[in-house]
Structure formats: C-alpha cells, structure tokens
Structure 1
Amino acid sequence: MNPSGARRTERDQENIRGRHGMPPTKRKSSDERGGGGGGAKRPALQCTSNKQHLYLLLDDWERGYSVRRLDVDAFEPDDAGADDDLPPERFTEPPVARIEAEAAEYASERNFVSHGAKIFAMQPGEASPAIPAFDASTLALSLCPWPFSYRQYGLPSFASAAGKLLAFTDTDAVYLGDQPPCGSKAPWSWAAIEARSPFYASQVTCYALHPDGRTLFVSAASLRSHRSGTFSLDAERLEWRRHGDWLLPFSGQAYFDAELEAWVGLCGEMGSPGHLCSCDVAPIAAEFTRPPSWKIGKEKLFRKNPELHLGAKLVYMGRSKFCLVEFLFQKDDDDHPRSDQPRRRVLDMTTFGLKYSKEGKLQTTLQRSRACKMNKRPQDYGGSLIPLAFWL
C-alpha cells in the first residue's frame, strides 16, 4: 500500500499530528536548514518535474504488461451524476515501459504494489529469480529479489508503510530494505518479520494506513479456527496488535484524507457496490476497541450496466480528490460478455472531490472530469478483475 497525496504545510502537518495523539515534530534551527546568518541565500533546487500522474498497468502484451501514464488534467469535463456512454478511445501513444510478468488469473491486482515511486510486479515467471520494478520518477526498470524461497502458498498480500515494503503469506511475513546505492555491491534483500501475522493473508478484505505513517490496519475474514477481526502492525517496531472482532467497512485499500479526517474507500458492505465510504480512524493504543463509526455515500459511482462491470479501484490524489477507475467489458463484443471472456476491456476513469454536506453526509463535489480508454488482451482467458492503477 502506498497512500499518496498533495504536500501539506508545516502547520497542517502539526494540526494533524496533534489530533491523532502524535508528538510534534522537532523544528530544525536555521543552521540545520542551511540558512546560516549573513550568507547569501542559496538558489532553490530545480526539480525536473514533480507532477504526479495516473499509471495504468494493462495486460495487452503477450509477455506481460504495458505501463501507461495519463494526465488527469487532460480529462474531459463531466457533469455530476451524468451516466451517459463515453465512447472509449484506444491508446495511441506507445507505453512508457513494459514489464515482463505472468498474467495471473483473476487476481493480478494483488500481484502489483506501489512503494515510494516504484511499482513492483510480484508475479515473475516460474524460472525468474527476480521481480521487475518500474520507477515512475526515472522511468527506469530495476530488479528486486523474490521475497520467498518457495511459491507453494496462497497469493501474498503486500503493503507499504514507514518506508518498508511488507509482504505477508499465510505462514510468513517479510519486509524489503532500502535499495542499495548505485555502484554498491550489497544485495537488495528482504528481512523476516519475527512476529507472525495473526491472520491469513488470503483472507484480507481491506487495509488502511494510519495518519502516523507507520501503523498499518488490516481487516481479515475468518478462516478455519481464526476469528474475523481488525489488526494493526507497527511497521517500525514490527509488532502486531488485535483491535477487535469487527472489520473495517471497505473493499480493498482505503486512504486517509486529512481534510475529511477519515479513511475513505470503496464500500465493502453488502448491497452497497459502487458507493464510497468514510470511516473514523481507529485508535492505535487500545488493543480491543469498538468499531469506529462510518458513513456510506448516497451516490452510486459505478456506471449503469452491471452486466459489463468487472471491478473497480479507487485512487487517492490528495486534498480530498480521488479517481475511480472502473473495469468493464466492451459492450460491442459479440455474444454474452460473461460466457466467452472477450479480449477487449474498457477503463472508465472519473476524477472528483469529496466533502461532507451540511447534514454531515459524504458527497462528491461538482468539479468532475472523465476519460474512457480501451485495450485488447492477447488471450481470451483469465485476467485481472480489478484495474491496476496507481497515483505516482
């Protein structure tokens, strides 16, 4: 998991830390900041580009995935509540990169994870000992060792917290250390987490990072004798804590939004597909707590035809702005879309803001934009049901 967002001012950061019981940050002196008295001011460092983009990974290549980069500022304006069909366009420009990786059947959304500025492809070929990683800041590809010595287990769960890339299976847990500097002979390696995960990775329903940046909350359904519940991992101390026999109300990844002071994600409650949900941040200190209060947005964001719907992913872009990426069958494909698994896929993307109304209800703002793209897969079977989308 790699929640991303816009940069905040120091005052905003201190307000957030104070509300969630975190100690204030120690301010550096002028000498520590490089602002010693009397000298001329140093020129500001010029960054080549700090603009973030929406990255899509598409299995439209016979040997793996193509990496597409979209500028959401170029999306077309979209009136709130509009549900008209937007003709999908093909990708005309070449991809920014290609990643060689196996296409997992219906679960490949768990084979990719963003960490820092990188996207890791956690589905290497059987003969490959390494994982390809794409760096969005440099557009370069690098190789990372596979985290486990065997693959006879359920698909791992991955998350990013406190500068660590975490990986969990039903039996093991590891984290990835920092990448060695250029020219170093030291290997890029994983380290074991001694505290075993108190849940099965294959039963994770949702997860969210606490605003402290180091505590990962995970909800997992019951499996065999293990009860359902919500747990947290202190990614610095590598210690687990159980918070109760309740589950967070999300499906997949949720994000902390500072302006709403809540976690936000796609609702995982039965009968509410396509609705957003906001949830109070659970306290870290208490081991057993009551479930936090949460609200379901009134508006359904999925497009009308459920027969074409495959899945969706919510991407957080910072400052209460989100992008919903919905995965659809192409409606013009012949025969019944569920019977023959046609190759064409449509990605319907909508950006919007979120706020609470005067009545305290979660609602989208009117400043919307939308784009619709289509790609063709090289095979007729398998494929992800959830879009592989990242904000980097």
Structure 2
Amino acid sequence: MPKRRCGERDGGSTAKPWKRRLYLVCDDWDSGYSIRKFSLPADSGEGAVQGLPTLFWRVVARHHGGDMIIDVRTRCVVSGPESNSPARPIYFPVGEDRLYVLDSGCLELCRLPPEQSDVESDGDDYSSLDEYDSGSDIDSKDDWFWHQLPMPPFAIIDVTSYAMHPHSHGHSILVSIKSEDLAAATFSFETEVRAWNFLGEWTFPFKGRGHYESELRALVGLSKVKGAFGFIYACDVPNTSNRPPAWKRSKEKVFSKNPADKHVSASLVYLGYQRKFCLVECVLVEEDKACQEVKEDKDDQVLLEKPEGTCVPQRRRYMYRLMTFSLKYDKMGDLRVRHRRVRYYKVPSKVSKACVRQDPVVFWL
C-alpha cells in the first residue's frame, strides 16, 4: 500500500470537505463484505419500503474474521496484528489517528505514525513516545501500526456496556462488567497515563456502546433488557467517588411498535450534534399476521402463536428499520424522544442469518 502524501490524511488543501454519512456493513457476497452509504430520512415514511442504497464499496475478506480496519475516506484496508486475531473486539476511536481495540485478554492501540510534515508543523517530539519504540509492531505494507497496552482486569465476555468520555487532559475508556460469577463493576482506562482504575460496584444502565452527548452532558445508550426493552438511557458521567451515576430513562420506546415487526437486533449511532441519534434496527416482518395475536403488557410487546392448524402460512423477510430522532429534557425533567424520521430497507437475501442476528455494523463517518 503506498504511503500517504502530505495533506492526503485530511483530503489535501484542494479536496472537497468531507460530508459525513451513515455506513452499513453486510456480508452479502461470498468473497467478503459490502458497505452501503445512507442518506438520513428527511421525513417519516413508516409504510415506505425500499432496497438498500447503491453499493459504496466491496471488501474482499473472510467472513467473521474481524481482523481488518477500513478507512472509508481513503478506501484503505489495514490488517490487525497477526499475533492476536480478534475474537470479540470493541473499538474506541480517538480523533483521526488513534484507535483503541479491547479484545480477549488485551488492549491495543492502532495509530498513524507522524509524518515528517506533521512533526515540523506542530513541534511535538514524537520520538519520545513509547508507542513508537522497538516493541511496536509496524506493518511495512501500510502506515498504521499496533502497540500493546496494559491488559484489562476482566474478561471481554463479561463486558455489558462501554463508552468513551473526553476529559480536558485526554480521554477515558469506561467499561462495565457483570456475569453470574462476578459482581457488577465498572473500570476506566486513562489513555494519558495508560492505567486501569476501578470506579465502583455498579454498571451502566444501557447495553453495549454509550455515546457522550455534550448538550445533555450524559452518556446515551440503548436498553435491551426485560422491563426496559427498547428504551433510551441518559446517564451522568461517573466521577471518582465510587458511587453509581444518576440516570434517566426515556418516556418512549424507540424500537418498532408495529405488530408485524419482530425485533431481531439493533445499533444506536450518535450523529455528533444537537442531541441527534440514529437507530438501525433489524426486524423480521410477518407479512401475514393471521397466525399470531399481539398481547400488550407494561414492559414489552409479545407475539403469541395460535394453535397449529388454525392459521394460514406466513411470508417472512428481514428489514432494516432506520430511524433518526433527537432527545431533550421536558419541563418536568423527563427524557423525551422527538422528531422521529423512519425508513424501511429490504435486507438482501444473500445476507447471512448470523449477520442479521448480530447488532448491525453501522458507522457515522
């Protein structure tokens, strides 16, 4: 892979400004993955169904390998370290040149080495940074390289939620864990001093990734547990007092309320401004509901099968339900979901069941 030229990292002085888009990754061809680029819905169209957007890029890769990083701006592919093939990696991007990867039994930093022009312009002495020492794993085929960081004091299989919160002096990786054999606990990794800290015996109320929203001054995440299924949580950023942070749960669910939609998986993406988010939910659409009845309870919507022989055959298909929305606190201090915009997209028949059953791989870049 050729070296980047001066100015190429940011598109160069003559490049057009980069306009952020939503990208979805699918395993809809035998030799690798397809990346689709979405325009966010401008109005609501709950009943409108369309095919996925035009193909943006195809990447040749083994399915479920998880050992590469893709730069959509330069269309470069970066391989992960061969010594540790990722099992269930969790990614924490920082700026445009650093990526922290939490994997089974390790934490690694992937970053771009400074170009000579960058060093001369900013005056930093990068030669003193230990991530550029002889122990670094530099791949001669590309500009990125990996560096081992202190191992986490927990197993990645026990991770329930995670987030990254910016501080005035660097960044902190926040990770909550819980299992049948372990008590609830939350840890932080301080990137400036490269050390793990124990924050307390509690976990974030959301599941999976939390997104820091500066106007709400909260970590925002999605709940997938019984009793709070499909709600949004806004959680205060934890401090060093070992006390669990305060949180609020949205008054409305964000998952589909259509009785024909059976929830399969979902990912929440922060759009980076004005409390705006995008939910990408995969649903299994039951086109003929003659075989089912809907029972509503205070927690969840439950689909009940009628006795065999009393219904007609159904047609099923997977759909991606794309919903943008904003969050705000009302006069009573309650968290509200506002300005919903919805579109449905057909999932290509070649997408594997393993792909639709895991949370959609989606990015706002």
Establish whether TM, by shorter chain, passes 0.5: yes
Tell me the alpha carbon deviations over residues 116-149 of structure 1, each in whole angstroms, 9 at most, x when there is no partner: xxxxxx625xxxxxx2x332223x13232x2351
Asked if 1:378 is matched to 2:350, the reply is yes
What secondary structure does 2:359 align onto? coil
Asked whether the equivalents of residues 249 and 268 of structure 1 are also in contact (C-alpha less than 8 Å), the reply is no
Partner Cα separation in structure 2 for residue 158 and residue 333 of structure 1: 40
Instruction: Provide the residue aligned with 2:31 in structure 1.
Output: 63
Instruction: Provide the residue aligned with 1:142 in structure 2.
Output: 77
Tell me the alpha carbon deviations over residues 81-106 of structure 1, each in whole angstroms, 9 at most, x when there is no partner: xxx8524211363x1111233434xx
Asked whether the equivalents of residues 161 and 216 of structure 1 are also in contact (C-alpha less than 8 Å), the reply is no
Asked whether the equivalents of residues 170 and 199 of structure 1 are also in contact (C-alpha less than 8 Å), the reply is no
What secondary structure does 1:202 align onto? helix
Tell me the alpha carbon deviations over residues 243-267 of structure 1, each in whole angstroms, 9 at most, x when there is no partner: 0110011111111111111111112
What secondary structure does 1:372 align onto? strand
Q: Which amino acid aligns with 2:43?
A: P
Q: Which has the higher contact order (CA 8 A, sep 6+)?
A: 1
2:177 alignment partner, one of 220, 223, 230: 220
Asked whether the equivalents of residues 325 and 350 of structure 1 are also in contact (C-alpha less than 8 Å), the reply is yes
Partner Cα separation in structure 2 for residue 244 and residue 97 of structure 1: 43
Partner Cα separation in structure 2 for residue 159 and residue 92 of structure 1: 27
Identity of aligned residues (%): 31
Asked whether the equivalents of residues 27 and 352 of structure 2 are also in contact (C-alpha less than 8 Å), the reply is no
Q: Which amino acid aligns with 2:342?
A: R
What secondary structure does 2:47 align onto? coil
Q: How does 1:1-392 map to 2 (within 5 A)?
A: 47-72=15-40, 75-78=41-44, 85-91=46-52, 93=54, 95-104=55-64, 123-124=66-67, 131=68, 133-138=69-74, 140-144=75-79, 146-151=80-85, 154-161=87-94, 163-178=97-112, 188-193=144-149, 195-212=150-167, 214-222=171-179, 224=181, 226-283=182-239, 286=240, 289-304=242-257, 305=259, 308-319=262-273, 320-332=275-287, 344-365=317-338, 367-378=339-350, 381-383=353-355, 384-392=357-365
Instruction: Provide the residue aligned with 1:23 in structure 2.
Output: none
Q: Which amino acid aligns with 2:360?
A: P
Partner Cα separation in structure 1 for residue 316 and residue 26 of structure 2: 12
Q: Which amino acid aligns with 2:247?
A: W
Q: CA deviation at 1:289?
A: 1.1
Partner Cα separation in structure 2 for residue 168 and residue 88 of structure 1: 37
Counterparts in 2 of 1:90 and 1:357: CA distance versus 1, 3 Å: same
Q: Which amino acid aligns with 2:28?
A: D
What secondary structure does 1:69 align onto? strand
Partner Cα separation in structure 2 for residue 267 and residue 221 of structure 1: 15
Partner Cα separation in structure 2 for residue 261 and residue 168 of structure 1: 25
TM score, norm. by length of structure 1: 0.69
What secondary structure does 2:327 align onto? strand
Could you tell me which runs of 5 or more consecutive residues in structure 1 were left unpaired when the two chains were aligned.
Answer: 1-44, 79-83, 105-121, 125-130
Asked whether the equivalents of residues 343 and 379 of structure 1 are also in contact (C-alpha less than 8 Å), the reply is no
Q: CA deviation at 1:65?
A: 1.6
Partner Cα separation in structure 1 for residue 140 and residue 87 of structure 2: 33
What secondary structure does 2:286 align onto? coil
Q: CA deviation at 1:270?
A: 3.4
Q: Which amino acid aligns with 1:71?
A: S
Could you tell me which runs of 5 or more consecutive residues in structure 2 were left unpaired when the two chains were aligned.
Answer: 1-12, 117-138, 293-302, 304-314
Question: How many residues were matched structurally?
Answer: 305
Asked whether the equivalents of residues 203 and 223 of structure 1 are also in contact (C-alpha less than 8 Å), the reply is no
Instruction: Provide the residue aligned with 1:26 in structure 2.
Output: none
Superposition RMSD in Å = 3.3
Counterparts in 2 of 1:99 and 1:323: CA distance versus 1, 3 Å: same
| Structure number with higher strand proportion | 2
What secondary structure does 1:364 align onto? strand
Q: CA deviation at 1:154?
A: 4.8
Partner Cα separation in structure 2 for residue 100 and residue 177 of structure 1: 23
Tell me the alpha carbon deviations over residues 268-315 of structure 1, each in whole angstroms, 9 at most, x when there is no partner: 5531111111011111xx2x5110000000101111238621111111
Counterparts in 2 of 1:333 and 1:137: CA distance versus 1, 3 Å: farther
What secondary structure does 1:190 align onto? strand
Tell me the alpha carbon deviations over residues 223-255 of structure 1, each in whole angstroms, 9 at most, x when there is no partner: 64x433000001232110010110011111111
Asked whether the equivalents of residues 265 and 283 of structure 2 are also in contact (C-alpha less than 8 Å), the reply is yes
